[in-house]
Structure 1
Amino acid sequence: MELLKERIRKDGIIKPGNVLKVDNFLNHQMDIQLFNEIGKEFKRRFADVKVDRILTIEASGIGIAAVVAQYFDCPVVFAKKSQSINLDGTMLSTQIESFTHKRTYEVIVASRFIKPGENILVIDDFMANGCAALGLVQLIHDAHANVVGIGIVIEKGFQQGGAKLREQGLRVESLAIVDAMDADAQTITFREDS
């Protein structure tokens, strides 16, 4: 998605340790006009599948997933990273390692929000090692629902997350795949640019 790549080049900051900071438009402050274009693009890419529900993980995926869901006319469910007193009933849970936060979370979703046989589209802002997406896929499988695809806004193609998911036969659509970043030169190479 050229509009997204242009925005990353313009406003993204590359930090040491393979960190791409896009908090000024994607995952802290949110550019809703850009999110609308992202929603349209995911709808275009997944137009061939029936989507009953979108699943994401808190917190950065929620805003994007909510906008995307408008184009699919379906609800959004987000996996919570902690138990709270307002969660009740049967829960689906799995362990997810966060590349960004360098810790492991037990994420949970009330089982009543992912029903057997439903078609679930996973949406998230970033993919590095793929652990978040793999964890969400596990939750969907545990619920006996179907993963119809995984939509990622920015994939770090030089890390193995996307490859792991695709090797499992999962459909992954990433709007921008970063193949290389240089923190010193502040340069970024996208897959199509290689």
Structure 2
Amino acid sequence: MDLLKKTIEEEGVVLSPSVLKVDGFLNHKIDPILLDEIGKEFAGAFRNLGITKVLTIESGGIVPAFTTALYLNVPVVFAKKAEPSTMRNPKTCRVHSFTKNTDYTICIEQNTIHEGDRVLFIDDFLANGQAYLGIKKLVEDCHARLVASGFCIEKAWQPGHSILKQDGFPFKVLASIRHMSPEEGISWNYDTAETE
């Protein structure tokens, strides 16, 4: 997606060969025009799959999941990273964050995803695939079906892409990074950015 790549090149900050700072437009301060286009792109890619819910993890995936759900005209649910005292009958799963180097429990209220739902997972980054695996488990625990996934940015040298490809579900990456460093900037991977 050219607009996302252009924005990453102009406003993203490569902090290290594995960390890209995008909080100026994607996951802290939000560029509404960009996120609207992201939602349209994901909705267009998955429109014919009978999606009934869009699911993400707080907080970086919430806005792209919301704009996608808006264009699909379905509800959006976000898994929380801390179980609130008001949550009854939660479905939970442990997920490892390599960026933050910590494990955390994601949880959803059991009645937010129903048996038979066809779920689309949307997230800001695809890297090691751990968020995807956690979401997949939550969806299965709800007796629903994960039918596709969409990611704004992929770190293509990490194993996430292979994990999704092995699972066989359709997925779409809008901006796939082949390599990055503070000195050299970003090299795009044009081979893996289409719906699989």
Bin for the TM-score computed over the shorter chain:
over 0.9
How far apart are 1:49 and its partner, in Å? 0.8
How far apart are 1:133 and its partner, in Å? 1.1
How far apart are 1:193 and its partner, in Å? 7.8
- Corresponding residue number in structure 2 for 1:71: 71
Given residue 31 of structure 1, which amino acid in structure 2 is its aligned partner? D
- Corresponding residue number in structure 1 for 2:189: 191
**1:63-142 → structure 2 map (5 Å cutoff):** 63-88=63-88, 90-142=89-141
Q: What is the CA–CA distance in structure 1 between the aligned matches of 2:27 and 2:147, rounded to whole Å?
A: 24
How far apart are 1:172 and its partner, in Å? 1.6
Normalising by the residue count of structure 2, what TM-score does the alignment of the two structures yield?
Answer: 0.94
Given residue 191 of structure 1, which amino acid in structure 2 is its aligned partner? N
8 A Cα contact 2:17 2:179, kept in partner: no
- Corresponding residue number in structure 2 for 1:50: 50
Number of aligned residue pairs: give it: 192
8 A Cα contact 1:152 1:173, kept in partner: yes
**1:7-46 → structure 2 map (5 Å cutoff):** 7-46=7-46
Percent identity (aligned): 39
8 A Cα contact 1:162 1:172, kept in partner: no
How far apart are 1:46 and its partner, in Å? 0.8
| Ranges of 4+ aligned residues in structure 1 off by more than 4 Å | none
Given residue 167 of structure 1, which amino acid in structure 2 is its aligned partner? Q
8 A Cα contact 2:119 2:145, kept in partner: yes
Q: Deviation string for 1:112-171 (max 9, x for gaps)?
A: 011111100001101110101110011111111111100100011110111111111122
8 A Cα contact 1:128 1:160, kept in partner: yes
Given residue 158 of structure 1, which amino acid in structure 2 is its aligned partner? W
> Which ranges of structure 1 fall in alignment gaps of 5 or more residues?
none
- Corresponding residue number in structure 1 for 2:180: 181
DSSP 3-state at the match of 2:47: coil
8 A Cα contact 2:126 2:154, kept in partner: yes
Q: What is the CA–CA distance in structure 2 between the aligned matches of 1:95 and 1:72, rounded to whole Å?
A: 29
Given residue 162 of structure 2, which amino acid in structure 1 is its aligned partner? A
CA RMSD of aligned residues (A): 1.3
Q: What is the CA–CA distance in structure 2 between the aligned matches of 1:103 and 1:172, rounded to whole Å?
A: 26
Q: What is the CA–CA distance in structure 2 between the aligned matches of 1:45 and 1:190, rounded to whole Å?
A: 21
Given residue 148 of structure 1, which amino acid in structure 2 is its aligned partner? V
Q: Deviation string for 1:54-110 (max 9, x for gaps)?
A: 11001111122111111011111111111111111x221111111221110111111
Given residue 7 of structure 1, which amino acid in structure 2 is its aligned partner? T
